[in-house]
Amino acid sequence: MFIFQEILRDPSFAISLVAILVMIYCLWLVITLKNEVPGGVVGRQWAFVSWLVVLFTIGYLTTPFFRNLPTESLHVIVSVIFLFGAIYVATTVKLIFRIIKIMSE
């Protein structure tokens, strides 16, 4: 009952819940696929991507509590999430590039 009242009062709470569920699914995918990824450079990058997904999942789990934080703290947290998001995207693109390069050889 509380969750439904909160969703009606604050739509960003609903968005946070959906984002958390998606990140938990992504974390499950990363863990499941870990045994399928070969070693070497691709394996090392996959391990790094896995840690970033863990970090994001933890970050996303904190989002429902953002409204209780001081504005300055919120800005720092969001900036750190954006920074690691950029690192995640760069790492993922490099990983895909390497996989395509290996497959085309």
Q: Residue 25 — very low, low, confident or very high, per pLDDT cuts 50/70/90? A: very high
Pairwise pLDDT comparison (90 vs 43), residue with the higher score:
90
- Given a contact cutoff of 8 angstroms between Cβ atoms, the answer to whether 60 and 20 are in contact is yes
Residue among 58, 75, 57 at smallest CA distance from 66:
75
Q: Is 60 exposed, middle or buried (0-12, 13-18, 19+ CB in 10 A)?
A: buried
Q: Residue 83 — very low, low, confident or very high, per pLDDT cuts 50/70/90? A: very high
Q: What is the pTM of this model?
A: 0.73
Spans of all domains in the chain: 2-104
Q: Residue 80 — very low, low, confident or very high, per pLDDT cuts 50/70/90? A: confident
Alpha-carbon distance 71 to 79, whole Å? 12
Mean pLDDT score, 19-47: 87
Give the CA distances from residue 89 to residues 43, 53, 72, 80, in Å, rounded to whole numbers and listed in that order: 17, 11, 26, 14
State which amino acid sits at residue 74: L
